[in-house]
Chain A
Amino acid sequence: GQQVMQIPQYQHVQEGEDFTTYCNSSTTLSNIQWYKQRPGGHPVFLIQLVKSGEVKKQKRLTFQFGEAKKNSSLHITATQTTDVGTYFCAYIQGAQKLVFGQGTRLTINP
């Protein structure tokens, strides 16, 4: 089936720096979801994008869905230590089956 590739696999930043993770697919996706998993925790839903070129914001987080619906990005402005965790993109295949990317692990130096 379709795969989604996330880059980078790891990212270490200084607190206050920006962070971006990218999610790429070789085929068109009908939707993309983003989840955050804190160390030792479980994935928590952040957002869903379904429209070509869609941009959504949640405070310091900006989510984009590419025009061709083959890629997506999550950008965090001015990171804080609470942003630490692994960010996963995922898409729904069939009836609510989520296919996850490998995730981008974000660590922050305070």
Chain B
Amino acid sequence: DAGVTQSPTHLIKTRGQQVTLRCSPKSGHDTVSWYQQALGQGPQFIFQYYEEEERQRGNFPDRFSGHQFPNYSSELNVNALLLGDSALYLCASSRYARGYNSPLHFGNGTRLTVT
């Protein structure tokens, strides 16, 4: 039973560029959430996708966008990268129907470095 998988593992980009990160949820999960974790900090919620729609959004600018596909996998896109976007990007999956009784399962993350 595969857990949450993310790709790529590491990525180095230049300021102003665009990046796409990918996530496949755990088998049986239909909801994908994205979190940004700066060094030494707790993860910060970016947004959540369910049924291919953005359901909740955190305090992140429109440069951050996402998509969910019919197979529940998801992408996170960040445009016009800033140095401050350097962080670990975590994808988490869950089952929407269980509400808050469905703990999040996190992937290993993508380490993004912006130079």
Q: A41-B108, A42-B109 are known contacts. Are A97 and B42 too (CB-CB below 8 A)?
A: no
Chain B residues with Cβ below 8 Å from A96 are 31, 33, 48, 56, 94, 96, 99-100, 102, 104
Chain A residues with Cβ below 8 Å from B107 are 42
Asked if B90 lies at the interface with its beta carbon under 8 angstroms from chain A, I say yes
Return the CB mask of A67-110 against B: 1 if under 8 Å, else 0. Answer: 00000000000000000000010101011111111110000000
Chain B residues with Cβ below 8 Å from A88 are 42-43
Q: A94-B56, A95-B56, A95-B96 are known contacts. Are A33 and B103 too (CB-CB below 8 A)?
A: yes
Closest CB-CB distance, B25 to chain A, in whole Å?
13
Contact of A95 among B41, B44, B48, B106 (CB under 8 A): B48
> Please, how many residues of chain B have a CB less than 8 angstroms from a CB on the other chain?
28
How distant is the Cα of A33 from the Cα of B44 in the complex, in angstroms? 15
Asked if A52 lies at the interface with its beta carbon under 8 angstroms from chain B, I say no
How distant is the Cα of A102 from the Cα of B106 in the complex, in angstroms? 17
Asked if B8 lies at the interface with its beta carbon under 8 angstroms from chain A, I say no
Asked if A44 lies at the interface with its beta carbon under 8 angstroms from chain B, I say yes
Asked if B67 lies at the interface with its beta carbon under 8 angstroms from chain A, I say no
Chain B residues with Cβ below 8 Å from A42 are 90, 106-109
Contact of B45 among A30, A41, A98, A102 (CB under 8 A): A98
> Please, how many residues of chain A have a CB less than 8 angstroms from a CB on the other chain?
22
Cβ-defined contact, B56 with A97, below 8 A: yes
Chain B residues with Cβ below 8 Å from A41 are 108
Chain B residues with Cβ below 8 Å from A100 are 42-44
- B50: nearest residue on chain A (CB-CB)? A95
How distant is the Cα of A55 from the Cα of B109 in the complex, in angstroms? 31
Chain B residues with Cβ below 8 Å from A45 are 103-105
List 11 A-B pairs, Cβ < 8 Å: A42-B90, A42-B106, A42-B109, A43-B90, A96-B56, A96-B94, A96-B102, A98-B104, A99-B45, A100-B43, A103-B42
B interface residue numbers (CB < 8 A to A)? 31, 33, 35, 41-45, 48, 50, 55-56, 58, 90, 92, 94, 96, 99-109
A interface residue numbers (CB < 8 A to B)? 30-31, 33, 41-45, 48, 88, 90, 92, 94-103
